[in-house]
Structure 1
């Protein structure tokens, strides 16, 4: 697929159907091509499960009927906590059919994270895989959760009557569901995202979000449009079910377009992933830069892949893996940029030359631009500013769930500010220049420094801490913690190991500080705030 950039920008129109929902889209797909495989699922033992679009429709309707009998209805919040699973779409779409809002949670979180999220959004239901119930059991009495639905659960292992299996909720239910009338403007999901201060924030999206993915991410990133023969394509996005990226690609592109996609529930191992790509005939791959960097170190020529597109997101992808994959497979990894709050805002998409090192150009219809950090004024080419999107763009989120004070901070002006700094060259390509705030991006994960620091200081040895990003060749950046110790403790390698193990228990494992430095003082402003910018500069200088 190729597009003429200027004409696409000029001619693009949203035309969002008022009646659009992702659930009605699946109903349409099942009616039109119900026997098409929607999901090729592989577990980590190589066991295959397949789900057609008719299967997903029927299963989502069974689950929706079961939820309704339990009292779940429009506006309720349904959390989910499960790994990549063949029933993932049926569960998510079934909950959405009732008019409930999905609250995705990553299996990398901890029990206290589940407690915070359920209390913050007042969730009453959680669907949890049987392998992850120990994240719910310790905190359920401290939450508004009324029912726990266990995926792959055993009836004999359930805690009490408020616990039930997914199978028992769906079993025997009709494959037709007469639920509430929903529209593009009905709330769909609450995705929690890290900020520079305080707890993660609840990003609210409406069903419109998925339509925007279909109109933006599909053609201008994945290279899928109305002329694409979907029966010749197999999509693979390596994301997990608890991340916004799951809604960006497996739901927002795969399900909404009617494509067939691969879901693999195994840990990332270079050789395994390369073998799967070859054996399964993956044609379009979406992975994070860390994975591409690790692919680039393998004998790529040994694998007979059928890729026609390779997509990257989460952080900038450097030149070396791009050129290595180009040479080996004849495809150019194409960067795309966006956030939990948005669709793809900037991409190297089919029809424009990939500018290595660049995010690409703004996608049509979205209105992404670069403005001055302190003013709502666009910068000139070559100048560094903040990536921003007009607040009336359909491509951004609908505020923070029941947090009007946060809405006032982020959405009261002319633009939604992303917090990411970039420059633009004379040809309109955007280049990432860093963060306007202190968010750490490591292997595509967004990590708020406050969460790391707040957990660290609960250790008896730690008096004060500051977390910043530290450059890393494979991960892009890793978390580095500068630590002031309490009296009576001495900095040592043993204490570093102890703190790291402690942090893995306190926070999601991707947040723990892979590097720790003991210091006597931290740089601060006159008002006592930590100047993380100075620490980041130190880390960059060490790397250079």
Structure 2
């Protein structure tokens, strides 16, 4: 944990203390992400659709807005009212972006659902949300048809490229409508999105996100993508686009647009800054991802740690094979770890900016490895520390608190929490409205008076003297073994440093004497065979680097780890498996 340069600390302090939120009474995501650009720069490229075997399709803001206007009219004709939930069950494609713009400007609530969801997952969310319309494509229409009969509120299915089994064919319906629509004047506090949490613990809960939350996300996006502009009197070296970011900037992320990381960290902020974003429905593959970034000259990206680990193992020296133009990498969902951190800096030529947030309060902690001077030259931001989550982004008041809601002394583990009010006492716009039909769960999220409270993230961390947070794990993932507190991410990161390990998850294994043993589930890298000799080698690998009580007493090799659709390891699944085995049920 080497100390950063004093001027970098001062720069962060000035930013953190200088930002003041300005949230208008009326605000609509569709207007700021598309409507204004369609009026002022209709020919500006909004999306680049990638397909390895087809020419790149460019969708400009004027076309995006026209299609959204037509879809808004279709939805209104089908009876969709202000506040109604509309499910969007499609991959990364132009129609998904059209759907979001159309729903927001209608005053309805978009409910993005992953194309990977099976019938059971879809049924739960459609029933719980009481969605009235679902928008689908060929990859999801069959699953929707399977559950539709059990969803009485679901009145219509609209399908793209596959009219069979739907009530409305997307293309025919939009072609019959005019490309003019008067957007609803929504309040900033009005609901815009309903996203169901990953469900690492218990059934998923629907987090209701207001239009204003996008404003709260912007400082984090700008910092994590190294777009923060510092004062400098010379004219810019690099031309700027209409959104104030470099005109040649292109964004891509494999993150599913159906979850917060894909929607609020990629699609919407890219559109907000008029930065073209690449849409690709291809399943993630590390080599294909590198080729895509080279083909589209991608400058900015969000790559979750599992993707970075896969790229590191599959292509250790990527710049020897691909003409990459990356300027910024943001990563979130799990701890990156110092092994991947150093690989990004050395092999990709970019210092990865870790980000921490969650569906309910997104983009709150992270790093900014560079600022962009007005002369176009990069300047230091606040330096990332390998293994650290980073520091509070400007505009957010973040602390580590104890069970009573008091701030923990620096260096003491506790719950990461965000205060409803920033350092100036202003309301932070990043907060969700609450859990859908779960007032009890919403209240349990906060500690303190309603307007002067901390919102707990459910993650455990340590804050150092400079305000950097060091991730320990989910509050329910941290466990004790022989009286010692074990944070799984540190052990997992150590395991991944070994060339034989592609990925790892650490959970407690019940033990009558110690309470629990440290157990690791390991996914092997190609070319390695899991045997007793490798188990011993991995145990020694960890024992020689961490505390003696942290090395895994047992290692089980597994083909793949259970993951949420947001790319997070479901340690809970493995933990329950161990408990069932101990009870003789597994």
How many residues align? The count is 470
Which residue of 1 is the match for residue 431 of structure 2?
Answer: 396
Q: CA deviation at 1:188?
A: 0.3
- Secondary structure in 2 matching 1:232: coil
State yes or no: 1:148 paired with 2:140. Answer: no
CA distance, structure 2, for counterparts of residue 83 and residue 417 of structure 1: 31
Give the TM-score, by structure 1 length: 0.80
Pick from 455, 461, 468: which aligns with 1:429? 468
Which residue of 1 is the match for residue 387 of structure 2?
Answer: 357
| Cα distance, 1:333–1:101 mapped onto 2, change above 3 Å | same
| Cα distance, 1:255–1:313 mapped onto 2, change above 3 Å | same
CA distance, structure 2, for counterparts of residue 149 and residue 225 of structure 1: 40
CA distance, structure 1, for counterparts of residue 583 and residue 366 of structure 2: 38
Pick from 165, 185, 191: which aligns with 1:181? 185
- The 5-angstrom pairing of residues 31-180 of structure 1 reads 31-43=39-51, 45-143=53-151, 144-154=153-163, 157-158=164-165, 163-180=167-184
Q: Conserved in 1, the CA contact under 8 Å of 2:141 and 2:165?
A: no
| Cα distance, 1:510–1:311 mapped onto 2, change above 3 Å | closer
| Cα distance, 1:133–1:481 mapped onto 2, change above 3 Å | farther
Q: Conserved in 1, the CA contact under 8 Å of 2:209 and 2:432?
A: yes
Q: CA deviation at 1:194?
A: 3.6
- Residues 59-68 or 17-26, more deviating: 17-26
CA distance, structure 1, for counterparts of residue 581 and residue 43 of structure 2: 65
Which residue of 1 is the match for residue 522 of structure 2?
Answer: none
Q: Conserved in 2, the CA contact under 8 Å of 1:421 and 1:433?
A: yes
Q: CA deviation at 1:246?
A: 1.9
Q: Conserved in 2, the CA contact under 8 Å of 1:44 and 1:265?
A: no
Q: Conserved in 2, the CA contact under 8 Å of 1:315 and 1:476?
A: no
Give the TM-score, by structure 2 length: 0.74
Pick from 376, 385, 407: which aligns with 1:378? 407
CA distance, structure 2, for counterparts of residue 517 and residue 403 of structure 1: 30
- Secondary structure in 1 matching 2:407: coil
1:200-232 C-alpha deviation (Å, 9 max, x unpaired): 101011100112223x22322122357754312
Pick from 327, 339, 342: which aligns with 2:346? 327
CA distance, structure 2, for counterparts of residue 293 and residue 311 of structure 1: 14
- The 5-angstrom pairing of residues 216-295 of structure 1 reads 216-225=219-228, 228-295=244-311
Query: Cα RMSD (Å) of the superposition?
Result: 3.1
Q: Conserved in 2, the CA contact under 8 Å of 1:193 and 1:203?
A: yes
Which residue of 2 is the match for residue 527 of structure 1?
Answer: none
State yes or no: 1:208 paired with 2:212. Answer: yes
CA distance, structure 1, for counterparts of residue 324 and residue 384 of structure 2: 21
Pick from 18, 21, 25: which aligns with 2:28? 21
Which residue of 1 is the match for residue 319 of structure 2?
Answer: 301
Which residue of 2 is the match for residue 367 of structure 1?
Answer: 397
Q: CA deviation at 1:45?
A: 3.5
1:99-120 C-alpha deviation (Å, 9 max, x unpaired): 1101111111111111111111
Which residue of 2 is the match for residue 190 of structure 1?
Answer: 194
Q: CA deviation at 1:196?
A: 5.8
| Cα distance, 1:127–1:475 mapped onto 2, change above 3 Å | farther
